[in-house]
Structure 1
Amino acid sequence: MRIGAHVRDDLDPLGAAEQLGVDLVQLFITDPQGWKKPQPHPQAQQLRESTIDVVVHSSYTINVASLNNRIRVPSRKAVDQQAAGAAELGAIGLVVHGGHVRAGEDAEEGFANWHKLFERQADSGGFAVPILVENTAGGERAMARHLDAIARLWDAVGDFPEAGFCLDTCHAWAAGLDLSDVVDKVRAITGRIDLVHLNNSRDEFGSARDRHASLAEGTIDSAVLVEVARAARAPVILETPAETVRADLQLLADATS
């Protein structure tokens, strides 16, 4: 199992990886709250040549499911640009949240917009790295919160070779998904889990709130989280608080060694 963490120093992920003693890092390559195109990364060549695996998390502003042209169109462009930027780092994938439609809108159009994202890109040769769709914590019209929605989303994108899946445990817990069998249920739908975001939650089961906690201190039994990591058989990224991430890495390493 390759275990790593989201690093806070986006400009020096290699230094962060060395300090944490990990062989896998996740980072942003542009402002996560904005729409700016990624700029060349100062460690691009070193990252490509390193044994450290890289995952890029896309901007939070992206919502390719949106029926609003002013959101959907720049979202498609941002996914393309950030996937290209991720490829420059030799990344194993770009994590993109499932997104949502608004009240009164037809969810089927949101799933169709996900299909169009991959279909349009296929005309240009496809994405430069796998697009890892991440399940989300809340929203009744979310594309990737409930299992039935994930199934409808996968019907729309699963046939494209770049489509992958990222399972976030805090999001699943907040969405009301039973973590004891969530890996099996997601894999039955998607056929794959490419990455795990292993996070505990500050909130109760089914809260629809996305607030991460350390592996040992949240409302999810840490033993359950360890079993999710084992069952998924995929690289694991911790997005736990900065002050506990070292202890979280050690807990997971000890439990899975």
Structure 2
Amino acid sequence: MRIGAHVRDDADPLGSAQRYGAEVVQLFVTDPQKWNKPKPHPQADQLRKSGIDVVVHSSYVINVASLNNRIRIPSRKAVQQQATAAAELGAFGLVVHGGHVRQGEAVEEGFTNWRKLFERQDDEGGFAVPILIENTAGGDSAMSRYFDSIARLWDHVGEFGAGFCLDTCHAWAAGENLVDAVERIRSITGRIDLVHLNNSRDEFNSARDRHANLADGTIDPQLLTEVVRQAGAPVVLETPAEGLEDDIEFLRETLSQSQPASN
């Protein structure tokens, strides 16, 4: 099981990996708050040869589900461009949030828009790396807040080989019990390709996406570790920078113990 972090310096992920002792690095390939096309990464060749696993997180502006053409169409283009940029880094996937429709709009159309993303790209030979859809924390019209919604989404995209990224803070904030979250998600998607391991600053079912360090949030750290054990997937910590090294050390130490942690 390989453990790493989302790096704060996208231009020097190798330096960050060395500093944190990370076996996995997650990074952005462009400004996450803009529609900019990715540029060639200065460490692309080194990353491919480094032995470090790389995963790319897509821009936050992307909303594939949107019924608004001015958002959905550039979102589709951005996913394609960022997947290509991820492949150039040797990444094993591109994480994309499930997105949402606006209040009052038909949720089913959001699921249909996700299917259209894969159908259109399938006609072009598919994406350069797997698309890893991430569960989200809030919004009643979200595609991937509730596990029931994720099941509906998978009815639309599962046949295209979509991957899944399980975020523990998001699931907690969405009101989904973490004790059996891995089992339930696997029964829906058949897979977990990546775990975003984050504690939460807010209470269960808060619908608020505010990450905390593993020992500082409202989720029992032992429960978070048990999610990692059960998932058996690469782990990326997106916790606050001040305690990130301690989080990695805690997780490695806990996982090395001979007996699994109790729920």
Under a length normalisation based on structure 1, what TM-score does the superposition of the two structures give? 0.99
CA distance in 2, matches of 1:196, 1:103: 29
Summarize deviations over 1:21-69 as a string: whole Å, max 9, x none: 1111000010000000000000001111110010100000000000000
The runs of 5 or more residues in structure 1 that have no matched partner are none
4+ residue runs of structure 1 moved beyond 4 angstroms? none
CA distance in 1, matches of 2:32, 2:38: 11
CA distance in 1, matches of 2:180, 2:21: 31
RMSD: 0.4
CA distance in 2, matches of 1:166, 1:247: 23
Deviation at 1:104, TM superposition (A): 1.1
AA aligned to 2:90 is G
CA distance in 2, matches of 1:24, 1:17: 8
Count how many residue pairs are aligned between Structure 1 and Structure 2.
256
Hey, what does 1:222 align to over in structure 2?
221
CA distance in 1, matches of 2:43, 2:199: 31
AA aligned to 2:115 is H
Pairing of 1:80-95 with structure 2 (within 5 A): 80-95=80-95
Pairing of 1:15-164 with structure 2 (within 5 A): 15-161=15-161, 163-164=162-163
Summarize deviations over 1:89-124 as a string: whole Å, max 9, x none: 000100000000011111110000000000000011
Hey, what does 1:14 align to over in structure 2?
14
CA distance in 2, matches of 1:147, 1:169: 13
AA aligned to 1:167 is L
AA aligned to 1:110 is G
AA aligned to 2:36 is K
AA aligned to 1:88 is E
Hey, what does 2:193 align to over in structure 1?
194
CA distance in 2, matches of 1:38, 1:130: 18
Q: Note if 1:209 corresponds to 2:225.
A: no
Deviation at 1:83, TM superposition (A): 0.2
Deviation at 1:147, TM superposition (A): 1.1
Q: Secondary structure at the match of 1:158?
A: helix
Summarize deviations over 1:175-230 as a string: whole Å, max 9, x none: 00000000000100000000000000000000000000000010000000000000
AA aligned to 1:58 is S
AA aligned to 2:173 is A
CA distance in 1, matches of 2:24, 2:147: 28
CA distance in 2, matches of 1:164, 1:241: 26
Hey, what does 1:250 align to over in structure 2?
249
Q: Secondary structure at the match of 1:159?
A: helix
